[in-house]
Amino acid sequence: MSESLKSESLYSNLIATLDEFAFLKELSKEIKSIIPCDIIKTSIPITKEESRLIYSNKNHSRIGQLFPHSGVAGHVARSKKPYFSNSIERDPVFMGHVSENIVSEMCIPVIADGNVLGVIQLKRSEGSGSFSKADADTTMKIINSIEKPIANLSIYLAAKSLNETLLRKIEEKERNKIKELSIDKNFIIKEPIIIGKSDKILNTLAMAKRGADQDVNILIKGESGTGKEAIARFVHCNSKNSESAFAVVDCSSRDLTEISLKLFGDENSQGLVDIVKNGTIVIKKIEEMNLPLQSKLLSFLKATKPSKVKVITTTSTNMIERIHDGLFREDLYYFLNTLEVDVPALRDREGDVQLLINHYLNEDKELSEQKSFSPGAMKKLISYQWPGNILELKSIVERAYILADGMIVERAHLSESVNYEEEIVPEEVEQEQYKFIEMQLDELERFHICQMLDHLGGNKTKTAKRLGITVKTLYNKLHTYGMIGNRDSE
């Protein structure tokens, strides 16, 4: 297969991929097929100081673990430039991080909008040849050929980061609510409000209710931000043990000792498995749990009847792939997955987006403080794909409420991710056929003004100019229509 055909094939494979692990793994395999090497490793910067190793063509015990930025990978992550060396033992950039028998190494950054999404390291042992500038140029050419898939991934990761930040804030708020609702400080919670009437979410709730009625462990699957913890709360509150304790452990924490201590305790303190008697423990992001802790959890499950402690786990990844990669125990997976509940992505919940938008826009607001979206803004929100799901929706809606000075939230108040549209220039634009609508003259005027306002993104100055009226006249008309309040000043 020619290099151009390979690039086209890679582009096709990655254009719709929004899983950064799968994306960079596929890219690494493609690079290795073109630039021969003995070892290829890929890592993702998590913070300014740490990265996570996500792929290696050799068995590597540190896959999935965090490690400090150091050596050539840290240098490339900071400089954002490719680097190669054919005498790594004497190269100060490697700072003593030299693998046995490896004499040459090339390190390439994957960059979007100035941010390093990943770092790919290629290594050659003695007798495998040296790297050259041509190798670095070829690798960068491969990466540049998928500029658009990388840009798509970058936009998704930015939304994901925002959602995770928001999630932490929401979880903190929920923890405070739990403290307020607690009875005898026993983790007692109230049933969550789950908004939606689509078939998808109703089917999810029906399956969750079935799991609540049975003494079984449940695995809740769904994309990030879909509300998996809310479904876990729904299960607990509809079970026979709804008055018992409910507790959450998040495995995305880097401190695995803290997770173990929180779950199982030690000689000085009790863990949740002892505190939450006849209740529910939710283990979030179970795929992040390391193998030693998985063995400990499996032993607990084997020794405990589900009727005593219901264990609910959540994941946003393909657990079967984790098992195949040796990162998750297959026997533990089947213990946890007696019943599987799938939480749909927001883009698949037909009719629910508008309900959620209206709920979060005026949640906990007094009647005098409530606002509404203009028809154009609502149309834009409904057509948006919501890669970050409910968490992204809540964040965008709350932001729009703050930015809107009046009672109407316009398209201009929405975030760039919602307003962003790929410009598509059609080869031929068919003229829209005029349709006659019977209405009174004042209704026709209002319709035309609203259409013009929406067309110009809510810009009232431009709208007034296009209509041939003053801005003051436009504000007076909008006030008459009930679309804005009194306007104190221009």
- Interval 337-390: pLDDT, tens: 999 999 999 999 988 999 999 999 988 888 888 899 999 999 999 999 998 999
Q: Confirm or reject CATH 3.50.50.60 for domain 434-490, answering yes or no.
A: no
User: Regarding the domain delimited by 345-423, which CATH topology (the fold level of the hierarchy) does it fall under?
Assistant: Helicase, Ruva Protein; domain 3 (1.10.8)
Any idea where the domains of the chain sit in the sequence?
3-156, 182-344, 345-423, 434-490
| Intervals of the chain under pLDDT 70 | 1-7, 59-61, 95-100, 171-189, 254, 306-307, 421-438, 484-490
User: Regarding the domain delimited by 182-344, which CATH topology (the fold level of the hierarchy) does it fall under?
Assistant: Rossmann fold (3.40.50)
**Per-residue pLDDT at 340:** 95
Contact by Cβ (8 Å): 84, 104: yes
**Per-residue pLDDT at 438:** 67
**Per-residue pLDDT at 186:** 43
pTM: 0.53
Q: Which of 170, 225, 215, 197 is nearest to 343 (CA)?
A: 225
CA geometry: angle at 140 spanning 139 and 142, to 5°? 65
**Per-residue pLDDT at 1:** 45
**Per-residue pLDDT at 432:** 47
**Per-residue pLDDT at 266:** 83
Q: Do domains 3-156 and 182-344 have the same CATH topology?
A: no
CATH of 3-156, one of 3.30.450.40, 3.90.650.10, 3.20.20.370, 3.10.20.30: 3.30.450.40
